A and B are shown apart, each in its own frame.
Chain A
Amino acid sequence: MLKQRETAGAREDSAETRELTYAQAIREALQLAMNRDERVFMLGEDIGVYGGAFGVSDGLIDQFGAERIRDTPISEAAIAGAAIGSAMTGMRPIAEIQFMDFITLSMEQLVLQGAKIRFMFGGKATVPLVLRTPAGSGTGAAAQHSESLEAWFVHVPGLKVVMPSTPYDAKGLLLAAIEDDNPVIFVEHKLLYRTKGHVPEGYYTVPLSQSDIKREGTDLSVIATSIMVPRAIEAAEILAKKGIELEVVDPRTLKPYDATIATQSVRKTGKALVVHEAPKTGGFGAEVVAELVAGDAFDYLDAPVRRLAGLDVPIPYNRELERAAVPQVEDIVREARALVEGVY
């Protein structure tokens, strides 16, 4: 029987912080989790010697061996099933689905099995599983390798959905997801893999279901997910030169979503813009807006709550069309300015 090693509490911040990329931060979390708990292992396509399609698991096979960094055939249903079945019987798998688009081939196992097993069995089974997957456009990979499907999973009771936007969060949220006893869909963004940020050494967790204020401001709350967080911050820097101060709120965990921080922010600023990459219709942004207007923020609103999201279009190949399909910094600047200046 594999046992979890004795370790100190959840948070062991080191005094120093280093710069790591988002990919390195994820890799470090994987290393820490596997060092800490022998039940943790990874499975997925080309994660071994190849190092993963985006290099996230680069070198891990040398450290942990082919048993724990387990290359699979191109069998997404079996990857999900193998992860869920092993999670039900004492392991803590981390599955990688190479592109989020391919998760469509795992849907039955994830949605009809993994998400429901605990409830269907009267709470008598546990499925501690993390499924990591890179999402998003911007790589020229066109319609079948660029999707952002997080809203599908938000709609499934029993699943949790996490979308980190910074290296610090990626590491801490991944460690929290691995500790969690539920199936967690962990959505990474391809364009974020090379972004850098401060990441403390050692083990720490960022609690799930806790939003974070990524930039303080007074004029408008921008509630953004994943890649849209750095884009919103960039937009904020541009607008700051014009005297407009955006507050950027990152939900980080989309399910279960806690609207407290977004609500507090909007009570302060009186205005809200919700930004995500996935297509607008039926997107997570609608949920964020609904929580604001149905809740304690309503009486504080001075303007309509707006959504800025991907167009309802498959991601096109052409560079300019691809850019036009999802919100860019200039789009956020334009929308934010219109809301703040009351020109809508």
Chain B
Amino acid sequence: METKLKESGLDSATLLEALRKMHLIRLFEEKAESLYALGKIHGTMHLSIGQEASAVGSCLALQPDDYILSTHRGHGHCIGKGAEPKLMMAEFFGKEVGYCRGRGGSMHIADVAGGNLGANGIVAGGIPLSTGVGLSIQMQQQDKVCLTFFGDGAANEGAFHESLNLAAIWDLPVVYICENNQYGMSMSVERACAVQRIAQRAAAYDIPGMTVDGNDLFAVYGAVKAAVDRARTGDGPMLIESVTYRWRGHSKSDRQRYRSRDEVKEWMEKDPIARLEKALLSAEIVSEADLEQVANAARKTIEDSVAFAEAAADPDPASILEGVYA
């Protein structure tokens, strides 16, 4: 990993910021989970704990005015793109100051001003939209790229095929990132996909496809950076398969009958945060004390975001119809 660290060309400030975001994602989700257990927030949530390097490494390759589209498992992408945890937490609590004024919740968090065009409750729902965003960038001759995340399950939807084909024939500046976390709810990728590697499907659209270790920040960053640079110069879309694992169940109802504890344990040993910390230590970029400081600062941010969200006001019921139409 050390070599990759050097090859990445990322400076230590950027790397520490990436580590901070990875902590924020994990802590945000651990907090969300406990708030749910306490009955403080309702609904459901889809946690990406264990997938932090994929989200942060991908977004690290973007400029601030680039776009992303995300999934139901989208907290990581949102934080990766630079969203404020307190406004996310407020949305989680359904509060008026939340990113979506409490109308969206966990599954629809969007930070439109920050270039995050939304999480999505529909598997593969964001993929056609991202193709449209790419078309928009191209027609307006903007120096932007759209990066769209989806899971292994989404790669079996028809929308995936229609969209990648369209992006390929029009050379749209879209990078398609399939976060293969091994399961579409309970269906394993081996059982669901006719191909061994989802990246192989790029061949069907005559675009480059690549599979990377999604728990290795540098591997993700390197691949996505290359794809983003390529898209930005007008060379068209690319499909990246980021192989990772969700430590938690699909959602709150998951009894996890489809996988073994040993399997989960095995993947927890590939913890992307621990791996990054180890790489930073061995490259002597940081000290143990620095690492502790980053983690503590992230913890404080999340604690503060909960306090902020709890104190915030609920939406006024009289405003319920606002936003249905422009």
A residues engaging B (CB < 8 A)? Answer: 1-2, 41, 67, 72-73, 75-78, 80-91, 93, 108-109, 112-113, 117-126, 128, 157-158, 160, 180-182, 256
Contacts and interface: CB of A to CB of B under 8 A. Distances in A.
Nearest to B105: A120
Counting chain A CB atoms within 10 Å of each CB, which of B100, B136, B137, B322 scores highest? B136
Interface stretch (B127-135, B271-279, B289-297): B127-135
A293 B29 CA distance: 52
B258 interface: no
B112 A124 contact: yes
Interface in B111-140: 112-113, 117-118, 120-122, 125, 127-137, 139-140
B103 A119 contact: yes
A88 B104 contact: no
B188 interface: no
A122 B133 CA distance: 20
A215 to B, nearest CB: 31
Interface in B300-326: 322-326
B128 A109 contact: yes
Given A120-B108, A123-B101, A84 B129 contact: yes
B131 A121 contact: no
Contact of B110 (A72, A93, A120): A120
A128 B136 CA distance: 13
B127 A73 contact: no
Contact of B131 (A41, A82, A180): A82
A82 B125 contact: no
B323 A85 contact: no
B104 A80 contact: no
B162 interface: yes
A108 B326 contact: no
A122 B118 CA distance: 11
B218 interface: no
A48 to B, nearest CB: 14
B110 A124 contact: yes
B98 interface: yes
Contacts of B169: 73
A180 B325 CA distance: 10
Closest 8 CB pairs of A and B: A81-B128, A85-B132, A123-B323, A122-B101, A78-B162, A181-B326, A75-B162, A86-B136
A120 B67 contact: no
B163 interface: yes
Given A93-B132, A119-B103, 18 more contacts: A67-B139, A81-B162, A82-B166, A85-B129, A85-B131, A85-B134, A85-B135, A86-B132, A88-B117, A113-B120, A113-B128, A117-B118, A120-B110, A120-B118, A121-B323, A122-B99, A124-B113, A158-B325
B43 interface: no
B100 A77 contact: no
B104 A81 contact: no
A112 B134 CA distance: 20
Q: Which range contains the number of B residues in contact with the other chain?
A: 35 or more
Nearest to B163: A78
A121 B129 contact: no
B281 interface: no
Contact of B324 (A1, A2, A112, A119): A119
A253 B242 CA distance: 47
Contact of A88 (B100, B125, B132): B132
A273 B99 CA distance: 47
A78 B101 contact: no
A120 B100 contact: yes
B195 to A, nearest CB: 21
Given A77-B159, A117-B118, A89 B133 contact: yes
A158 B67 CA distance: 24
B39 interface: no
A82 B128 contact: yes
Contacts of B322: 123
Counting chain B CB atoms within 10 Å of each CB, which of A1, A91, A120 scores highest? A120
Nearest to A88: B117
B108 A121 contact: yes
B100 A121 contact: yes
Interface in B157-187: 158-159, 162-163, 165-166, 169
A113 B324 CA distance: 13
27 contacts: A1-B140, A73-B166, A77-B158, A77-B163, A78-B159, A78-B162, A78-B166, A86-B132, A88-B136, A89-B67, A89-B117, A89-B133, A91-B139, A109-B159, A117-B118, A118-B326, A119-B103, A119-B324, A121-B112, A122-B98, A122-B101, A122-B103, A122-B104, A125-B110, A158-B324, A181-B326, A182-B325
